[in-house]
Each structure stands twice: as structure tokens, then as C-alpha cells.
Copies of this chain bind each other. A is one copy, B any other.
């Protein structure tokens, strides 16, 4: 449901092709809304059918024509209306937490391995967000309101990763305590 509006918001910022949008969703919007290229193309088709975006075809040699989507007045109107409605919070569904819930069936060593995996993901995510921060939002005092709000969305990503990493330390400590079976030491 909100994918539609995420696309309109992205296009409102700047017209783009499906491919471009896919890149943006993977980078600057990673923090906000995830969508695969298949979903994006499908939804763009619907938006076009509904007159909320228009397409300009750009012929290219050696690859499919580029289709640049731009938001229409109708699209902007739909987006503006949606902005007024209070949206429900997204549901939490975390397989890693399911594993912790399963508790005593789980092998602490396996959980530790998985934790390290997620942790390094979180660290690199945080790094990417920091890069975006430095690239686009250097001096927040001078930003106009559009970018200021985008920055606050990014801040959400940053604080979330920090919170993840903090919790990861709590968990690591506990898991280590749960496996006193040590590797035999090399002589």
C-alpha cells in the first residue's frame, strides 16, 4: 500500500526510470522502504494506468528504451492526501528473535555465529548511513525543510543501527556465558 506513495515521494523529488528508482530504494531509501525491481516496475505500471505518473520514452541503442517516470498533478494530490492520514506502525517480524524465543532448543554457538553475521551487516549499514550523512547533510543548520526531514529519516536509521549494535553486545555476552565448553587449546 505505501509502496505506491514511496514511489510518488521519490518521483516528486526527481523524475526517474524504474532502474534509477531501484537504485535509490537500495541506497537512500534503504532505511525507509524496501522494494525489489519487480515490485517497482509493477507498481509504476499501475500508477501510470491511474494517471498519477507519466512516462517519457527515451530510445537507446543496445539496451531497452529508458522510460522516465514523472509525477503528475494528480499524483501529487494523491500523495498530499495520504500524508494527512495516520498510518499504522509496521508489524515486527524478526526471525532471529524467533530463534531466541525457541530458547533451549537452540545451540548458543550457532546463535553467536548468526549474531556476528547480523552485527557486521549493522555495522556496514551504519557506515553507509554515515556516508550519506556526510555527503548530503553536512551542515544541518542550513538545510531547507525538505532536506531537514529527510535527514531526520536518516537519523532514524542511524539511531536504530546504534540500538541494534548496543543490544548485540548484551546478547553476545550472554551467549558466551552459555557455552563454557571451550575449544581445546593448542599446546
Hey, which bits of chain A sit against chain B, CB under 8 A? 1-2, 5-6, 8-10, 12-13, 29-34, 76, 79-80, 83-84, 86-108, 110-111, 113-114, 117-118, 121, 144-150, 152-153, 155-156, 159-160, 162-163, 166-167, 170-171, 174, 178
Query: How many copies of this chain does the complex contain?
Result: 2
A107 touches B91 (CB 8 A): no
B86 touches A114 (CB 8 A): yes
A36 CB to closest chain B CB (Å) equals 10
Q: Which secondary structure dominates chain A's binding surface?
A: helix
* CA of A94 to CA of B5, assembled, Å: 11
The listed residue (B5, B110, B152) touching A98 by CB distance below 8 A is: B5
Contacts of A95 in B (CB 8 A): 1-2, 5, 33, 87-88, 90
Contacts of A111 in B (CB 8 A): 83, 149
The listed residue (B29, B91, B103) touching A149 by CB distance below 8 A is: B103
* CA of A164 to CA of B156, assembled, Å: 8
A70 CB to closest chain B CB (Å) equals 15
* CA of A68 to CA of B112, assembled, Å: 34
